């Protein structure tokens, strides 16, 4: 069997690259950065170091151009001036008197709560929203607990969540705990019924409305291999605004009808 001839190792002098050797010889040595003890192990080039203290890196203070900011802050100055003029004229005509709605806005706290998507139609959920609108939060929960509607279970869970959110975030319904729930008063509702209010600082559902939710797709198989894609709008979202009057609460909206009735 013939042996395979081996090539002799190359001469090191042949593999030398004088240009590369000259580069490594003349290149500057890396300077190790010295950290000061009072710098708390932060490099001088760190973003957490004040730029004014770094040599050669003086911060230039620039003033903001107001004209450039007004493009976003005040895009329509003439419209803003017309609106301000309109509001001033309205106040002068009313002689500084507030309407009942404006007075309630200034003396009450509000909490807007939006539910997750409920798997039902807008029409079906709208009937439940009209049933709880204008009622105290406890009475609305009771109404939904005994409702035969399928979506009432989801509405009950959202009412409990809205009540807890209003108490924690907005401080509503704390009159009984703070001793300022007021004297009991009997009012007359819009339907002519009489109602006894024991807590004037209680939470009630001021408004409740329903919005459209997401559409889901379904397939309708037809003849000759054709398929139609249907959009099923059977999810909706319940949104309601819970309110609490400071001192008057639910009574303030109906106390006028009670006084006119002479009861």
| CATH code for the domain of 128 | 3.90.470.10
pLDDT, greater one: 80 or 200: 80
Is the pLDDT at 105 greater than 60? The verdict is: yes
Is the pLDDT at 260 greater than 70? The verdict is: no
Q: What mean pLDDT do residues 203-225 have?
A: 89
- Say how many domains are in the chain: 1
pLDDT > 70: percent of the chain:
70
Is the pLDDT at 243 greater than 80? The verdict is: no
Given pLDDT bands bounded at 50, 70 and 90, which one contains residue 175?
confident
pLDDT at position 229 is: 94
In a domain, 76, yes or no: no
In a domain, 74, yes or no: no
Q: Whole-prediction pTM value?
A: 0.58
In angstroms, the CA 212 to CA 220 distance is 23
In a domain, 152, yes or no: yes
Residue 113 forms beta bridges with which residues?
A: 240
Is the pLDDT at 156 greater than 60? The verdict is: yes
pLDDT at position 262 is: 42
Q: What mean pLDDT do residues 198-220 have?
A: 85
What are 37-66's pLDDT values in tens digits? 444 455 666 666 565 555 555 544 456 777
In a domain, 230, yes or no: yes
pLDDT at position 101 is: 78
Q: What mean pLDDT do residues 220-226 have?
A: 94
What are 106-128's pLDDT values in tens digits? 777 888 888 888 888 888 999 99
In a domain, 144, yes or no: yes
In a domain, 176, yes or no: yes
Is the pLDDT at 218 greater than 80? The verdict is: yes
pLDDT, greater one: 24 or 166: 166
Quick one: which of 200, 184, 182 has its CA closest to 250? Answer: 200
Q: What mean pLDDT do residues 131-141 have?
A: 89
- Whole-number Cα distances in Å, 131 to 65, 123, 142, 254: 54, 13, 11, 18
Where b means 16+ CB within 10 Å and e means fewer, 48-76 reads: eeeeeeeeeeeeeeeeeeeeeeeeeeeee
In a domain, 115, yes or no: yes
pLDDT at position 6 is: 58
Q: pLDDT averaged over the chain? A: 76
pLDDT, greater one: 240 or 13: 240
pLDDT at position 48 is: 60
In a domain, 52, yes or no: no
pLDDT at position 253 is: 58
pLDDT, greater one: 143 or 104: 143
Owning domain of residue 122 = 109-261
pLDDT, greater one: 240 or 214: 214
pLDDT at position 46 is: 63
Q: Please, are residues 149 and 123 in contact by the beta-carbon 8 Å criterion?
A: no
């Amino acid at each position: 069997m013939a042996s395979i001839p081996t090539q002799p190792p190359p001469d090191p002098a042949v593999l030398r690259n004088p240009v590369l050797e000259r580069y490594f010889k003349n290149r500057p040595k890396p300077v190790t950065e010295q950290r000061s003890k009072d710098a708390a192990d932060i490099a001088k080039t760190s973003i957490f170091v004040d730029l004014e203290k770094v040599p050669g890196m003086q911060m230039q203070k620039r003033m903001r151009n107001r004209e450039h900011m007004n493009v976003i802050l005040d895009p329509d100055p003439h419209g803003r001036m017309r609106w301000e003029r309109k509001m001033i004229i309205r106040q002068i005509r009313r002689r500084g008197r507030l309407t009942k709605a404006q007075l309630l806005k200034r003396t009450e706290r509000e909490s807007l709560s939006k539910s997750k998507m409920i798997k039902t139609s807008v029409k079906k959920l709208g009937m439940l929203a009209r049933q709880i609108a204008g009622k105290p939060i406890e009475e609305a929960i009771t109404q939904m607990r005994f409702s035969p509607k399928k979506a009432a279970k989801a509405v009950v869970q959202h009412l409990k969540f809205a009540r807890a959110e209003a108490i924690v975030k907005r401080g509503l319904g704390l009159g009984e705990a703070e001793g300022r729930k007021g004297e009991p008063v009997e009012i007359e509702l819009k339907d002519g019924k009489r109602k006894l209010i024991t807590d004037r600082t209680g939470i009630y559902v001021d408004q409740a409305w329903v919005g459209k939710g997401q559409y889901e797709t379904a397939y309708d198989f037809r003849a000759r291999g054709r398929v139609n894609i249907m959009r099923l709008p059977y999810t909706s979202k319940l949104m309601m605004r819970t309110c609490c009057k400071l001192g008057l609460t639910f009574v303030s909206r109906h106390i006028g009808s009670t006084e006119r009735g002479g009861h």
